[in-house]
Structure 1
Amino acid sequence: MFHIEIEEIVKTKSRIKMMNLEGEMIMRFRSIFIIFLSILLMSCSFNSDNHEVKDNPIAIQMKNQTSPKIVFLTIDSLMDEPLKKAIQENKAPALEFFIKNGQYHKNLISSYPTMSVTIDSSLITGTYPEQHKIPGLVWYDEDEKRIINYGNGWFEILKIGATQFAEDALYQFNNIDLSPQVETLHEVLDKRGKVTASINAIIYRGNYEHTLNIPKIISKPTGLPDQYNTFGPKILSLGAFIRQDENNLHLLNRLGLNDAFSAQELKYMLENDTLPDFTILYFPGNDNTVHKKGPMTTKGIEEVDKQLQEVLNVFPSWKNALDHIVWIIIGDSEQSKVKRDKENALIDLREVLSDYHILKLNESVSKEDELVITANERMAYIYKISKDISLQDVISKLQKDERIAWIAWKENDMMQVKSGNLDGVFQFKKEGDFKDAYNQTWFIKGNRSILDLTINQNQIEYGDYPDALARLYGALHSHKGDFLIVDAKPGYEFIGESSPQHTGGGAHGSLHKDDSLAPIIVTGTNKSIDHIRIVDLKKWILDLLR
């Protein structure tokens, strides 16, 4: 059980500095319509005042009785320190209200990579990527021999092609790539006779077929289909593609994939008494602001708080909002500061691996190609697609770059991790004599300091990398292929051919705690949760709605 620290949050003195973003043009615009499509669909993933992760399970406990309905709000890249700053400056009254009337924890552990698509897949399935099979925002499909891009910057999307991107993001993501071997919250709750809704959430697979209508301003000039069929919960809302409130006019900004649209859809259901048993709602705006202005900005929090105020104003009083609804508000991950100096901050993997022939985004795989690079901001996958090269040689080149924290790969049934500035290799696999705080057992061998592990009487304690073994294992088993994972040190970001760049701003993706921890606010339930991890929230929610 954890303690509420409302006074500490409210009274915390302002101590945070702002940061800025720079960008770089890579190619000319091909079509304003394609650019518009790319931009609008892009997505990137308690009590103590320090930033150390608590290894012991912490339970969410409330005095109130469990409410009959749940509203689950994800605020992209919501972080503890700027949230405290916004509250201290009286710029986030709605979030302050929820905190004062609920419980707060700042160390909710994310999935890995810390990119929204993987995180949200873990949230809705209760599994890490080895089961849900969404490896990241960008990855290489060995069977299809092509790069999958769900929206990692419109420069990459332009090269891959808007039609292929739309197919991946609007259809394949939920209906094909998300493993059918795992059930989503919507699917399980529907079997129990519960009605669920998804509003602007990236992952929404359910048992009901819906039609996504492509606006003509996009479909005509690009040649995209007028419609895509998809499966979702009984109530599905996804910007201009499908919505509940036909009078919801918040469509110009990213065609409705914005905070104002999300809030209006929730208000519509509240006002019309159609709020289902479970609603998951996504607020994406803060993520873009943090990427541009840096991790300590409060601007995005202030904007989303205005939308939450609009929602609370639907009720006779804000207190009435707590009477029949469990409110769960989370951030999906943190962003960490990227250094301003591009020459130093950006790890261009094409330069590090310039001795190899690297697959280009807009080309099919040829016999000459040896490697594929898919950068997910502060982590990257590097694929060996030629039998004529050695992964160990690739690893040796990567180890020379001091900005790379470590390199990981699979070898037989063992996970291998090496670092450029630490000796030896760290090895691990599931099931062994060592146990962590999440009741997971491991066999470990070698230099454990590479992942900052401490062992006390066969108990694993995690340091800079929360739940490191399970999260890294999940990414290494998330899809087929002979590949490496590289993870950047704080302050640095990977780039590939046309990757987004966030110098002077914020970025995520890595396993490091600077990217991996987020706040969670809960009101209206006394139901405990065993561990404060995103991967554990599905089971907890299902228990709440029994």
Structure 2
Amino acid sequence: MLYSIIIIIVIVIAAIIFVIKGIKPNYQSLDQKQITQTEKPVIMLIIDSLMYKPLLQAEKNGRTPALQFLMEHGQLYPNVVSSYPTMSVTIDSTLLTGTYPDKHQVPGLVWYDENEKRLINYGSAKEEVFKLGIRHVAEDTFYHLNHTHLSRNTKTVHETLGMKGLQSASVNALLYRGNEERTLSLPKIASTLNIAPKNLRIQTPALFSYGMLAQYSPKNDQNNGPIEIFGFNNKFSAQELKYFIQNDKLPAFTIAYFPELDKEVHKKGPENHIDAIEQTDKQLQEILNAYPSWEEALNSAIWIIMGDSGQAEVGNDKSNSLIRLNKILDNYTIYKVNKPVKDNDQIVLGHNERMAFIYILDEHLTPEEVVKKLQKDERIGFLAWKDESDIHVAANGHNNFFTFRPNGHFMDQYGQTWEIKGDPSILDLSISDDFIEFRTYPDALQRLHSALHSHSGNYIIADAKPGFEFEGEGTPIHPGGAAHGSLHEQDSLIPMIVTGTEKQPSHMRIVDLYQWILDLTVKQ
């Protein structure tokens, strides 16, 4: 999963500040924290863009002793279904709330807020950040994402545990909302230059580590400089977690992010990043070494190690592998990212790598008209939009639409029921005796229905086939590498390793892990 969301913003802000004045880490003290110990704390490690086949290849080659040890002493679940779109903020919101975006209301990395009439971008690429304005992106990422965009009608696992008298920790996670109020202080020069607010009053779990902006371990001073992305790196996450362990401050639940693998997968593709998996494993070894033995580490905690999304290959030939929606829709007036939305703008594009939101602002323009133009492009896997009650799906090479809605007489493997009509092959559904089997697109109906009800507006979802991604004004592109965002199984299936418990989630989906985590902690 793309972890540049915070990294890009911090780089832009901190690079300016370092040149002008320099900044220091915001240290926090563990001594003042009263952490209630539980019999077997749960430690969840998220390895960004960890995928099953490369993991097995690295293990087979003897490159990952820590991961191999955990697999040998636990269970490996190879195909856990991610959220949709398969982008960090949406996935993390689903993980922490146990809901899809129709409930948690974080639609994607980039989306259009029709109430504020502006494009929300949590930091997809530095070009887009500059065009939209650093301050806007910084405030959206550091504050609004957790405190106004993430729905208050859903409780995060940190909030729920807090209400039950249990504490939790978050290390370098993008989504972190908890019950404790604190001030996140950004360097004064940032507010002077109007590139970021001076202070933000935020809500966090009991232990909150956020790169050099909120740091516990003094040893992490060697991991928080500009070269080290100011603490948003694997070594920093590992050292913070080690510090908790060594000081007997592990709460009931800890989530820690390891972001670096994602960058290598984007660059080298879905199969050529074994070296990066090996480097990640070295940090896991450091964490296990914080105990007297690795066996003692397993006896002392429940360990969950997982990816967040997969990635699909993107072809080398930019002219073919990059889908430029503004070119396909060039007969419409399309919003320019570096300007306010104008009255005559007909369409706004929100690019999420291999998935895109296409917002129709012109009330005289219908989704069907736009879909008809886009449907001619064979690189787009499908197009979907909603009306008052139904979801409609179209695809290149199919004359008919596929239409579905919840609460019908067709049931899927997750116990969800649907009413369907039209051509189910558009989403590669197999239907037998009123039972729906998902193939190319895991949990396709629920995830797609949720994405189309994640925020208000008249919009279409475009989803690319493997080998392709969408390109817009200043968006990140990965020709010859890999990208995610799509509903496709290559983007959607992730591995999970679990030790220390025989309990399993109700289903192997990220959306089901919230209740499972509560079961593992509250009922000890």
Q: What's the TM-score once normalised by structure 2's chain length?
A: 0.91
Q: Which amino acid aligns with 2:125?
A: G
Q: Which amino acid aligns with 1:402?
A: E
Q: In structure 1, what is the equivalent of residue 396 of structure 2?
A: 420
Q: Deviations over 1:326-354 (max 9, x none)?
A: 00011001001101100000001110111
Relative to structure 1, the CA distance from residue 223 to residue 332 in structure 2 (aligned partners, 3 Å threshold; closer, same or farther) is: closer
Q: What are the within-5 Å matches in structure 2 for residues 369-388 of structure 1?
A: 369-388=345-364
Q: Which amino acid aligns with 1:322?
A: L
Q: In structure 2, what is the equivalent of residue 259 of structure 1?
A: 234
Deviation at 1:89, TM superposition (A): 1.8
Q: What's the TM-score once normalised by structure 1's chain length?
A: 0.87
SS at match of 2:319: helix
8 Å Cα contact 1:215-1:241 kept in structure 2: no
Deviation at 1:466, TM superposition (A): 0.3
Relative to structure 1, the CA distance from residue 212 to residue 125 in structure 2 (aligned partners, 3 Å threshold; closer, same or farther) is: same
Relative to structure 1, the CA distance from residue 251 to residue 35 in structure 2 (aligned partners, 3 Å threshold; closer, same or farther) is: closer
Q: In structure 2, what is the equivalent of residue 209 of structure 1?
A: 181
Q: 2:353, 2:190 → 1: CA distance?
A: 28
Q: 1:145, 1:200 → 2: CA distance?
A: 30
Indicate which of 458, 461, 465 corresponds to 2:437.
Answer: 461
Is 1:268 the equivalent of 2:243? yes
Aligned residues: CA RMSD: 1.9
8 Å Cα contact 2:75-2:499 kept in structure 1: yes
SS at match of 1:255: helix
Indicate which of 319, 343, 353 corresponds to 1:367.
Answer: 343
Q: Deviations over 1:69-128 (max 9, x none)?
A: 100111010001111111122211111111111000110000000001100100000000
Deviation at 1:528, TM superposition (A): 2.8
Q: Which amino acid aligns with 2:471?
A: I
Equivalent residue pairs, number: 491
Q: 1:214, 1:348 → 2: CA distance?
A: 37
Q: In structure 1, what is the equivalent of residue 414 of structure 2?
A: 438
Is 1:281 the equivalent of 2:253? no
Q: 1:225, 1:511 → 2: CA distance?
A: 36
Q: In structure 2, what is the equivalent of residue 406 of structure 1?
A: 382
Q: In structure 1, what is the equivalent of residue 285 of structure 2?
A: 309
Indicate which of 291, 301, 305 corresponds to 2:266.
Answer: 291
8 Å Cα contact 2:176-2:204 kept in structure 1: yes
Q: 1:522, 1:223 → 2: CA distance?
A: 42
Q: In structure 1, what is the equivalent of residue 24 of structure 2?
A: none
Q: 1:224, 1:107 → 2: CA distance?
A: 40
Q: Deviations over 1:443-481 (max 9, x none)?
A: 011000000111111111001000000000110000000
8 Å Cα contact 1:94-1:309 kept in structure 2: yes
8 Å Cα contact 1:213-1:228 kept in structure 2: yes
Q: Which amino acid aligns with 2:239?
A: Q
Deviation at 1:226, TM superposition (A): 2.5
Q: Which amino acid aligns with 1:487?
A: D
Deviation at 1:258, TM superposition (A): 1.0
Could you list the structure 1 runs, at least 4 aligned residues long, displaced by more than 3 angstroms after superposition.
31-38, 215-223
Deviation at 1:221, TM superposition (A): 4.4
SS at match of 1:281: strand
8 Å Cα contact 1:71-1:326 kept in structure 2: yes
Q: Which amino acid aligns with 2:100?
A: Y
Q: In structure 2, what is the equivalent of residue 194 of structure 1?
A: 166
SS at match of 2:276: helix
Indicate which of 127, 135, 156 corresponds to 1:155.
Answer: 127
Indicate which of 225, 229, 232 corresponds to 2:201.
Answer: 229
Q: Which amino acid aligns with 1:376?
A: N
Relative to structure 1, the CA distance from residue 290 to residue 35 in structure 2 (aligned partners, 3 Å threshold; closer, same or farther) is: farther
Deviation at 1:215, TM superposition (A): 3.7
Indicate which of 83, 92, 95 corresponds to 2:67.
Answer: 95
Is 1:473 the equivalent of 2:473? no
Is 1:391 the equivalent of 2:391? no
Shifted more, 206-215 versus 486-495: the winner is 206-215
Q: Deviations over 1:303-322 (max 9, x none)?
A: 21111111111111111101
Indicate which of 442, 460, 471 corresponds to 1:484.
Answer: 460
Structure 1 unaligned blocks of 5 or more: 1-28, 39-65
Is 1:77 the equivalent of 2:49? yes
8 Å Cα contact 1:350-1:497 kept in structure 2: no
Q: 1:269, 1:431 → 2: CA distance?
A: 46
Q: In structure 2, what is the equivalent of residue 176 of structure 1?
A: 148
8 Å Cα contact 1:187-1:206 kept in structure 2: yes
8 Å Cα contact 1:67-1:326 kept in structure 2: no
Indicate which of 485, 488, 496 corresponds to 1:512.
Answer: 488
Q: 1:470, 1:123 → 2: CA distance?
A: 16
8 Å Cα contact 1:67-1:524 kept in structure 2: no
Q: 1:429, 1:223 → 2: CA distance?
A: 44
Q: In structure 1, what is the equivalent of residue 114 of structure 2?
A: 142
Q: What are the within-5 Å matches in structure 2 for residues 52-63 of structure 1?
A: none
8 Å Cα contact 1:263-1:308 kept in structure 2: yes
Relative to structure 1, the CA distance from residue 138 to residue 225 in structure 2 (aligned partners, 3 Å threshold; closer, same or farther) is: same
8 Å Cα contact 2:219-2:239 kept in structure 1: no
Q: In structure 2, what is the equivalent of residue 105 of structure 1?
A: 77
Shifted more, 384-393 versus 328-337: the winner is 384-393
Q: 2:11, 2:106 → 1: CA distance?
A: 30
Q: 2:363, 2:433 → 1: CA distance?
A: 43
Deviation at 1:67, TM superposition (A): 5.9
SS at match of 1:248: helix
8 Å Cα contact 1:34-1:222 kept in structure 2: no
Q: 1:438, 1:426 → 2: CA distance?
A: 21
SS at match of 2:393: strand
Q: In structure 2, what is the equivalent of residue 6 of structure 1?
A: none
Q: 1:500, 1:474 → 2: CA distance?
A: 25
Deviation at 1:159, TM superposition (A): 0.5
Deviation at 1:362, TM superposition (A): 1.4
Relative to structure 1, the CA distance from residue 37 to residue 304 in structure 2 (aligned partners, 3 Å threshold; closer, same or farther) is: farther
Q: 1:32, 1:306 → 2: CA distance?
A: 25
8 Å Cα contact 2:375-2:396 kept in structure 1: yes
8 Å Cα contact 1:35-1:158 kept in structure 2: no
Q: In structure 2, what is the equivalent of residue 342 of structure 1?
A: 318
Shifted more, 173-182 versus 79-88: the winner is 79-88
Q: 2:64, 2:187 → 1: CA distance?
A: 35
Deviation at 1:392, TM superposition (A): 1.9
SS at match of 1:496: coil
Indicate which of 298, 312, 326 corresponds to 1:322.
Answer: 298
SS at match of 1:380: strand
Q: 2:355, 2:109 → 1: CA distance?
A: 11
Indicate which of 116, 139, 155 corresponds to 1:167.
Answer: 139
Q: 1:542, 1:73 → 2: CA distance?
A: 16
Q: Which amino acid aligns with 1:213?
A: S
Q: 1:216, 1:421 → 2: CA distance?
A: 56
Q: Deviations over 1:191-227 (max 9, x none)?
A: 1111100000110011111222224575554542222
SS at match of 2:158: helix
